[in-house]
Amino acid sequence: MPAPVPPARPADLARPQPPAATPAAPQQDSKRQGEGAPPAAPATATEGACLRALGAVSGNRIRPPEPKLIATSDPACQIVEPVTVEALAVRNGDAPGQITFEPPVTIGCELARGLADWLEGSLQPLARGYFGRDLSRLRVGGGYECRRRNRQSAGPISEHATGRALDIFAFSIGEPKAGGFDVVVEKPAGLLQARFVQAIRHSACGAFSTALGPGSDAAHANHVHLDIQARRSASTRFCQ
Ligand SMILES: [Zn+2]
């Protein structure tokens, strides 16, 4: 069943939020917010199951987020099974490894698992195919953040506000000390890198419900935005 669209928000989103009366509840066992809460985990997910699965993979470096990072009394900004991701394992091929997130980013577990699958199934093979080297690091931003889309003062709530979105600014190929280099989304160096970024965006379009980047609009000129926004139909995607 498709999750409902987040409800309209009062116009005071941009105001600093008062601190929550109690520290944010830990990820598991917390009661879901009542009416007005945004779409949360899939109805089939058992609370905590995603985090347990993510933590069970050796090579995944994850930790609980700082309570103050996720403390909010705003019902539109609730994050389900929040997790701070330092690195995710990629297990395919003869050289299993890890892709680090620089800096570590706080997102919902469902997105983290989607990213893990995408890194392993698409990004690492693309890096090897294009450059003959492993992807070692993602330079990221824009994990969980209670705000509206594109930081506007009005309009729809951002997927970042529920930990269901991530922004990627650059892809590090190889290790820096061993001749590695960064492919910067805003300015790929040369045709090969530009094609690599295009291929990544193409694969992201299949793996996530939204994939935006340079050329989509001014707000996405320097990064690839991915999210797992629940849409009316599971096959509906928004890629530009
Ligand atoms: Zn974004």
Q: How confident is the model over 86-134, as pLDDT tens digits?
A: 999 998 766 678 999 999 999 999 999 999 999 999 999 999 999 999 9
CA of residue 226 to ligand 1 center, whole Å = 7
3-state secondary structure of 109: helix
Instruction: Give the environment of ion ligand 1: residues with CB less than 5 A.
Output: 142, 165, 167, 225
Per-residue confidence band for 54, with pLDDT thresholds at 50, 70 and 90 = very high
CA of residue 162 to ligand 1 center, whole Å = 12
CA of residue 4 to ligand 1 center, whole Å = 21
> Model pTM?
0.78
3-state secondary structure of 37: coil
Q: Are the CB atoms for 62 and 86 separated by under 8 Å?
A: yes
Inter-helix orientation angle 109-118/49-56, to 10°: 40
Q: What is the pLDDT of residues 165-201, one digit of tens each?
A: 999 999 999 988 888 999 999 999 999 999 999 999 9
Q: Measure the CA–CA gap between 32 and 37, rounded to whole angstroms.
A: 8
3-state secondary structure of 40: coil
Q: Are the CB atoms for 115 and 154 separated by under 8 Å?
A: no
Q: Measure the CA–CA gap between 234 and 214, rounded to whole angstroms.
A: 25
CA of residue 96 to ligand 1 center, whole Å = 29
Q: Measure the CA–CA gap between 123 and 171, rounded to whole angstroms.
A: 10
Q: Are the CB atoms for 42 and 110 separated by under 8 Å?
A: yes
Is the pLDDT reported for residue 234 higher than 90? no
Q: Which of 129, 79, 84, 128 is nearest to 104 (CA)?
A: 84
